[in-house]
Amino acid sequence: MDFHFTPEEQAFRQELRGWLKENVPPDWEGVFLEEEEKEWQQGRAFVKKLSQKGWVAPAWPKEYGGMEASPALQLVYNEEMGYHRAPIGSIIQAVGIVGPAILFFGSEEQKKQHLPPVTAGERVWSQGFSEPEAGSDLASLKMRAVKDGDDYVINGDKIWTSNAHRSEWCALLARTDPTAPKHRGISFLLVDMKTPGITVQPIINMANMHSFNQVFFEDVRVPKSALLGEENQGWYITAMTLDYERSSLVAAGVSMAKRYLDDLVHYCKETKVNGGNLLDNPMVRHKLAEIAIEIEVGKYMVYRVVSLQARMEPGSIEAAVCKLYNTEMNVRLTNTGIEVLGLYGQLQKDSKWSQLMGRFQKSYLYAIAMVVGGGTSEIQRNIIAMRGLGLPRG
């Protein structure tokens, strides 16, 4: 496997890096999701600028506003976006999950309707997958979509729906055949959030922020044209999109981890303790070295997945390994940051005593959430054991 980037890819990295240094807000401290109103507005303005460069969804076809970028060029993009902590939370669902699903399974009409508004920076999507009794065991979902003439009538609720309170559209899973095996009776629907019967209830997370929601659907009527792909094909579509999500988010996450480590190393070099700097402490050096090694391992795991994508080879097992390792590595990274910063590491960014803008305090909480999001570590281990190693179900 060749780990070198082509001259074209290196040139794109330099162009994108320079642009990000100029356009990411100088006071930006967001972590994927822009919860505060100021952060949200900053993020939306940033995405609009990004769209003017044609960089919202580089891998998408040019006719829908993309660059038709190769997997390697998309990797470069994800790495730079992650390292610079770019405020792209408003398009993660659209670009990482919904867009690929529409590209692979949508009709030409659906592609023309939904993809250009995303690359223009004008449409926000949410994802309606999890339910109160269907999280890790997603196929146990109970939301129903019943045919009624030329429509589907949807009833049920979704939970942990990021940005539902701000999204214009929601991509959701609903059961269309209750008599079929649970994985085969599910359909994928594209729903306008302005449709009557939808109620969004906020969920305040442990960081005291609002990004998650519970969304209730009561006799929500959508046209049959809202169906993506074939009826009862929803599980297959979802499996594909989650593999795509894991690889793209993890690539950005590894680069973001590298940025956090660089910030922490700089802090240790500049912070004086007992007549020397913090980096003179061998325990601190060892902890930072361990994390540096883990980040490097995580990076090459991502490269392995991208290499498989470039050759159009299956990579769901490798994507699961990548997601499992790197999200748990991020927990260890942020925990190390909290330990090195000591009591200062527990302070939020608005405290006058906070260090590094309080980013380790916030990132530690989000790192735990990322272990769960996109499939828990337990789910990833089951995938690796059963599909990768051929072990029986435990």
pLDDT (tens digit per residue) in 310-356:
887 878 899 889 999 999 999 999 999 999 999 998 988 888 998 98
| Superfamily, domain 126-232 | Butyryl-CoA Dehydrogenase, subunit A, domain 2 (2.40.110.10)
pTM: 0.91
Q: Which residues pair with 92 in a beta bridge?
A: none
Closest CA to 137 of 386, 393, 379, 392: 379
Looking at the chain, the domain(s) classified CATH 2.40.110.10 span 126-232
**85 in Cβ contact with 31 (< 8 Å):** yes
**218 in Cβ contact with 153 (< 8 Å):** no
From 3.40.50.720, 1.10.1740.10, 1.10.540.10, 1.25.40.80, which CATH number describes the 7-123 domain? 1.10.540.10
Left if phi > 0, otherwise alpha if psi is -120 to 50, otherwise beta: which for 319? alpha
pLDDT above 70 covers a percentage of the chain that reads 96
Looking at the chain, the domain(s) classified CATH 1.20.140.10 span 236-388
| Superfamily, domain 236-388 | Butyryl-CoA Dehydrogenase, subunit A, domain 3 (1.20.140.10)
pLDDT in tens, 137-166: 899 999 999 999 999 999 999 999 999 999
Let me know the angle formed at the C-alpha of 182 by 383 and 249, rounded to the nearest 5 degrees: 40
Do β-strands 169-175 and 227-228 pair in parallel, antiparallel, or remain unpaired? unpaired
Looking at the chain, the domain(s) classified CATH 1.10.540.10 span 7-123
pLDDT tens by residue, the chain, 394 residues = 677 899 999 999 999 999 999 999 887 876 556 678 888 999 999 999 999 999 999 999 999 999 999 999 999 999 999 999 999 999 999 998 899 999 999 999 999 999 999 999 999 999 999 999 998 889 999 999 999 999 999 999 999 999 999 999 999 999 999 999 999 999 999 999 999 999 999 999 877 788 899 999 999 999 999 999 999 999 999 988 776 666 677 888 899 999 999 999 999 999 988 888 899 999 999 999 999 999 999 999 999 988 888 887 878 899 889 999 999 999 999 999 999 999 998 988 888 998 988 889 888 888 888 888 778 899 899 999 999 999 998 6
CB atoms within 10 A of CB 240: 16
CA distances (Å), origin 67, targets 54, 57, 58, 132, 393: 7, 7, 5, 39, 42
